[in-house]
Amino acid sequence: MADSKAAPAPRKRERTEKRTGPFTFYRQVVAELRKVVWPTREQLSTYFIVVLVFVLILMAITSLLDLGWGQLFFAIFGGRD
């Protein structure tokens, strides 16, 4: 049985890969960005409108819930008259 109080043996750090330099990193980033399929102006406008409508709907729902809960709690706990 192993003694639970014994300290584990230190491990050697093996260096398997060389670190990438800044120039190589930049070239790799540019190469990856060339693979990206960018949306057209029409798609971007559509996405923007969809997100805007969704956010406005969630704001309305949250505002109505806040108003309703606020009035309910004032009625229960006797807030202002």
Does 25 score more than 60 pLDDT? yes
Q: What is the distance, to the nearest Å, from the Cα of residue 17 to the centroid of all Cα atoms in its chain?
A: 30
Residue 33 lies in a domain: no
Confidence of residue 17 (pLDDT cuts 50, 70, 90): confident
Residues 6+ apart with CB under 8 A from 28: 20
**pTM of the predicted model over 0.85:** no
Confidence of residue 5 (pLDDT cuts 50, 70, 90): confident
E strands, the chain, in order: none
**Number of domains making up the chain:** 1
Residue 26 lies in a domain: no
Give the domain extent around 61: 38-81
Closest C-alpha to 64, from 53, 75, 56, 74? 56
Residue 18 lies in a domain: no
